[in-house]
Amino acid sequence: MTPPILFIVIPCYNEQEALPITAKRLTELTDDMVARGLIDPSSRVVLVDDGSRDATWDVISRLHAADARFEGVKLAHNVGHMNALWAGMTLSSGRCDCVISIDADLQDDVNAMYGFLDEFGKGADVVYGVRSSRRRDTWFKRTTAQGFYKIMRKLGADLVYNHADYRLLSARALEALLSFGEVNMFLRGMVPLLGFKTAEVYYERGERVAGESKYPLKKMIAFAMEGITSLSNKPIRYVLLLGALCALLGVVMAIYVLVSLVRGHTVQGWASLMMSIWLLGGLQLMALGLIGEYVGKIYMETKRRPKFILEEHLKS
């Protein structure tokens, strides 16, 4: 078997400090992989400049001029991590046998790529890089991130625990992923929807090589909200459930109110007021939940996701 053509896609936002170090590491890595016959010499590293405001693009241009294996993609403005990754993957699709996505800061151990390629060679279409521990993250990042995975699971989104966006996709998995039509993207939740044969490779996550995190708390919360609302209709279900619960409580209240009324423990108007508050409140919540169900359906429709993903087709 000839070695696969590998494309490594890296979103870069204001990464002028980290990029030179990252590029050097990747040069060594891909040299070694080619020497060992693990990847084809025409493999590429695709650097996507996500509308950086620093000298990132200059660094990328220089890298490209010096070494043809570095490709540069410049986005006209900042579109965020996910979309930048999507751009890089779109431009790689059809030109490679597999693509690996990794952050520019090399917090994810590049040596795990050997494991990725190994699993790919054994037939996996999707290989997840999974952090074996979060020891080196700050306490805050660790707890919030883990809480996030737990909530996501509860809400029905199938996420791989402690997997970020460090993963390998085969050409056909990539093509399938790119056929998803949604604009609000949460890649981590979309990849498991693909199916195909998957594998996991564990690695230690380190510190950023240089520069600072581009994910402050505000972006993290937005990211979590995006994840929940783009994958799951469950929050709407909870409203419906709450409405049903309120209506049920309303019935209990109604009985209580009627009993009080008959016993004459009430002031004028109290009974009717109480009944309307509980029953109407419950009904309103239920109605909202019901409308929400339809809005949720419309929402899923507008994503225009593929109805099936082809794995194989035997024909002659």
Stretch that binds ligand UDP, among 77-85, 175-183, 196-204, 274-282 (CB under 6 A): 77-85
Q: How far is the CB of 164 from Mg ion (least distance, A)?
A: 8
- The site for Mg ion, by CB under 5 A, has a size of 3
Nearer to Mg ion, 13 or 57 (CB): 13
Tokens 């409140």 correspond to 281
81-92 vs 171-178: helix crossing angle, rounded to 10: 120
Q: Hey, CA dihedral for 163, 167, 170, 173, is it positive or negative?
A: positive
Phi, psi at residue 206, to the nearest 5°?
-105, -165
Tokens 């593929």 correspond to 306
Taking CA 169 as the corner, what is the angle to CA 208 and CA 161, rounded to the nearest 5 degrees? 60
Nearer to ligand UDP, 147 or 195 (CB): 147
Phi, psi at residue 38, to the nearest 5°?
-90, -30
Q: How far is the CB of 208 from ligand UDP (least distance, A)?
A: 6
Nearer to ligand UDP, 69 or 81 (CB): 81
Compose the 28-57 pattern: x for residues touching ligand UDP by CB under 6 A, - for all others. ----------------------x-------
Residue of 27, 61, 78, 266 that binds ligand UDP (CB under 6 A): 78
List all residues 6 or more positions away from 244 whose beta carbon is below 8 Å from its beta carbon: 282, 286, 289
Nearer to Mg ion, 192 or 211 (CB): 211
Nearer to Mg ion, 145 or 249 (CB): 145
What is the CB-side half-sphere exposure of residue 261 using CA atoms within 13 A? 14
- The site for ligand UDP, by CB under 6 A, has a size of 16
Q: How far is the CB of 78 from ligand UDP (least distance, A)?
A: 5
Q: 10: closest CA among 107, 88, 109, 111? A: 88
Token reading at 212: 């600072």
Report the SS3 class of residue 265: coil
Residue of 26, 63, 71, 81 that binds ligand UDP (CB under 6 A): 81
Chain CA centroid to CA 50, Å: 17
The item of ligand UDP, Mg ion, none sharing an interface with residue 231, based on CB under 5 to 8 Å by kind, is: none
Per CB under 6 A, 108 contacts ligand UDP:
no
In what helix (H) or strand (E) does residue 203 lie, and over which residues does it extend?
A: strand 198-203
Q: How far is the CB of 274 from ligand UDP (least distance, A)?
A: 51
Residue of 80, 88, 129, 282 that binds ligand UDP (CB under 6 A): 80
The item of ligand UDP, Mg ion, none sharing an interface with residue 13, based on CB under 5 to 8 Å by kind, is: ligand UDP
Residue of 15, 17, 71, 109 that binds ligand UDP (CB under 6 A): 15
Taking CA 96 as the corner, what is the angle to CA 92 and CA 98, rounded to the nearest 5 degrees? 95
Interface contacts to ligand UDP, rule CB under 6 A: 11-13, 15, 50, 78, 80-81, 84, 103-105, 107, 213-215
